[in-house]
Chains A and B, each alone.
Chain A
Amino acid sequence: MSRPFLLEAREISFRAGEQLILDRVSLRLHEEEILTLIGPNGAGKTTLLKLLIGLATPSSGSVWRREALRVGYMPQKLHVDAALPLSAGRFLQIAERDMSRVREVAAEVGVERLLKTPLAGVSGGELQRLLLARALLRSPELLLLDEPVQGVDVAGQAELYALIREVRSRHRCAVLMISHDLHVVMASTDTVLCLNRHVCCAGRPEVVSHDPAYLQLFGRHAAEQMAVYTHHHDHAHDLQGNVIGEHRHG
């Protein structure tokens, strides 16, 4: 890819006490690129994300970010204590004082009607949308999404992924995403990076899906699943629709 890049990790390692969480990981992320991190639990995906945006410091190696890079971050979980009375609108206002802009972004992700609802009273899918809205309030050049559909029902997952695609093409930002949904990874990703403490393999999704390291990590079944979806690349929506239908009636 010839576009200039936004950030680069050079041989970063991260240790927590004795344990090596990440081992000499290198990657580059270009403008408007969609890069997806896949890998088993405990592979260090979230840690890598945090290192890339400076929420943690690598034990060795270095991270370069373009100067004044605006980052929007959607964390995996949000724990707001029930003792804190907070409406969804007030939650967004922490990032942006200007209420008219908060309304605008909330409308963009479809949570405008929730602004007066207490944060404790929103569903999993609504919370993810609110987190996405808060990330978008930063007018990000880079959007980091840590398992964005976690805690969302199957119907909501497809909608949320569609929304992320839509938002990305409108804002023309790069996306760095952690995801377990291999079919989504296939359908809408420029680059896949398969992580298991170290980089197992990286490249275009159809290349990665045939990589021996990938096959070993995810097993033949998952690999075949991914291959199937590759063939139906143009019909990602139909396929998702089918899955939803089966789920509802089954």
Chain B
Amino acid sequence: MKSKKKLRLSKGTMAFPYFAVSVLFVIVPLVLILVYAFTDASGNFTFENFARLGAASSWKSIIRSFLIAFFTTVICLLLSYPTALALTKIKASKRMIILMIFIMPMWINSLLRIYAVQLFYADTLGMEKGFVLTLIGMVYDFFPFMLLPIYTILADMDKMVLEASADLGAKPAETFFKVRLPLSMPGIVSGALMVFMPAMSSFAVSDILGYDGGSATFLDGKLFGNVIYYYFERGNYNSGSALALLLLVLILFSTFLSNVLTKGKTARKGGTIA
């Protein structure tokens, strides 16, 4: 019943500057990556860059990134689900403050978080740099991103549904697995993607906390992000772009997936705290 054709038209134009900026500085760069991924150094069209990705070292780094991102996601989930659940059990008036305490580190520079991990786990506890420390660093870095969406969905969950389940004779475990967990899936999916994708593309954590010459296993090598960084540092824009394009496609696909699965139900970083 309420459309304001004339008045709205003028307001819509206020988004134009941002639209123009976005086209120039968001869309054009993505197109450039696309172009560079499919051309060689002299500018001719080629698939060569992708063929080169078939090389063992590239694949290894991709698999390594995938594994580390997967472990990070699982550990974050296992830690944040009980945390979120515990949060919903305490007094509503205190909940926001406790939640804020958990979220606050999210707002400080991620490098500082990594530094704090290094200082505590490596320097104080004497852990060796490598895969395990990298994993700890990633979990520490990304934990709030998992906690926030899961908490949001658990806090919004209708208590009556759970009570109804108990009333119908379900044991607590049954209620959990048959009602609460399925209902919190949108939060889990959105949290998982918000952890998995940054973990997949992260290179700073493994740069600082990763393998630095000690005993090396398969997992102690370069990650996806490090390889892209490496290519660009060395001026090999084409191969770097091909890798970046692969990463971009992965990210866009998983974002799309998340949008479909959660239908925009959960908040992204920022919505809640500020």
Genuine A/B complex: no
